[in-house]
Amino acid sequence: MIATTDAQDERKTTHVARVEQWGQAPRYTTVETTKSSEPPEPDDHDQVRLKVSATAIHSLVRLRASGTHYSAKTLPHVPGVDGVGTTLEGHGAYFFDFHGSSGTFGDVVTVPKTNVFPLPPGADPIQIAALVNPGMSSWLALRKRAFRLPPDFSVLILGATSTSGRLAIPISRALGAGRVIGCARNPDALSELELDSTVVLQDPVTSTDFSCLGHVDVILDYLYGPPTEHLLHSIKPTTKLTQYINIGGLAGAKISLQSKVVRSSKLVMLGSGIGSCSDEEIREEMPDLIKALVSLPVPKIQVFRLSEIETVWGRKVGDARIVMVP
């Protein structure tokens, strides 16, 4: 924070990235306040203020900024749902706030104290900012939505080459999976991942052969749309439980599912995301998730200044994560 003083009142300038119209790239904006107009210091018992060190452009962040995500609120909109920062005492911490009135793409944030978690020894702030949100998707799905998973359970990841899908592979193993299958369109990208077996989506998707899967205990779906529709109609009825958990909609927002698919198999359909997992459930899992991420392989990460947000927002970076720093 940069502070200047005049004769009448102390003036401070802070910076945020702000979306003025849904679908437009955020703009780096300077906000000037005076001591009398700035927000009061947070209540020590409820909230904490942090100086932001790193925030990432997650898929959720982009969807909210477009105005199309179900959790998007009002304009003007400051993007960001989480990040890494420094407390007033100088301690590094991860924070999140999915329901606050302001986002995390700024110099400082004020968040509920219960949503702040100290960084473990050896944690890289850039890595944690980049990975917690995409890693949270599979972690919460397996820890809070799935139930009665057997030892060495099997997992099918639809969209395994996406950022969250890639993280779901080691996270599934860390949580007890004995067999991990990946499904995506790109065979070369699939071959680079540490999977036990793969299924390559064909064009048209209805020509994809899922018969090689055998029984799977849980399906983590980042795609939805036609691939999911074809998969669910391809499941062979067995006496064993299959838990389908939708996490994303990279391939579409709708499916058409024949009722006999649900009646003729032990298929349980669930969702995992904001709303199906409460903030309290997220808080319960966060320390273990952060600790697990410290030991996972570091993906490609590109770091930019927040002042570059308008040009970085639309940039294609392949499978790299984009992290913004002050």
Token pair in block for residue 44: 């020590």
Q: How far is CA 204 from CA 129, 185, 209, in A?
A: 37, 11, 11
pLDDT the model gives residue 298? 80
Which of 234, 240, 188 shows the shortest CA–CA distance to 208?
234
Q: Which long-range contacts (CB under 8 A, 24 or more apart) does 315-319 make?
A: 319/161, 319/163, 319/166, 319/189
Mark out the alpha helices in 77-192 (DSSP H runs).
125-140, 163-174, 187-191
pLDDT the model gives residue 224? 98
d(CA 268, CA 144): 15
d(CA 73, CA 99): 9
Taking the CA atoms of residue 214, residue 220, residue 225 and residue 228 in that order, the dihedral angle to the nearest 10 degrees is 10
Taking the CA atoms of residue 62, residue 64, residue 70 and residue 71 in that order, the dihedral angle to the nearest 10 degrees is 130
Q: What is the pLDDT of residues 157-191, one digit of tens each?
A: 999 999 899 999 999 999 999 999 999 999 999 99
Q: What is the pLDDT of residues 108-139, one digit of tens each?
A: 999 999 999 999 988 999 999 999 999 999 99
Classify domain 134-271 by CATH number.
Answer: 3.40.50.720
pLDDT the model gives residue 44? 56
Task: For residue 112, give the 3-state DSSP assignment.
Answer: strand
> What does the pLDDT profile of the chain (326 residues) look like in tens digits?
444 444 455 667 899 999 999 989 999 999 886 554 454 566 557 899 999 999 999 988 998 899 877 777 788 999 999 999 999 899 999 999 988 777 999 999 999 999 999 999 889 999 999 999 999 999 999 999 999 999 999 999 999 999 899 999 999 999 999 999 999 999 999 999 999 999 999 999 999 999 989 999 999 999 999 999 999 999 888 889 999 999 999 999 999 999 999 999 999 999 999 889 998 999 999 999 999 999 888 888 999 999 999 999 988 777 789 999 99
pLDDT the model gives residue 36? 47
pLDDT the model gives residue 43? 55
Domain assignments of the chain as residue spans, ordered by start: 14-124+298-324, 134-271
Amino acid, res. 193: L
pTM of the predicted protein model: 0.87
Do 14-124+298-324 and 134-271 fold alike per CATH? Answer: no
In angstroms, what is the C-alpha Rg of the chain? 21
**Are the C-beta atoms of 263 and 287 separated by less than 8 Å?**
no
pLDDT the model gives residue 5? 45
Strand partners for 200? 184
Superfamily name and number for 14-124+298-324? Medium-chain alcohol dehydrogenases, catalytic domain (3.90.180.10)
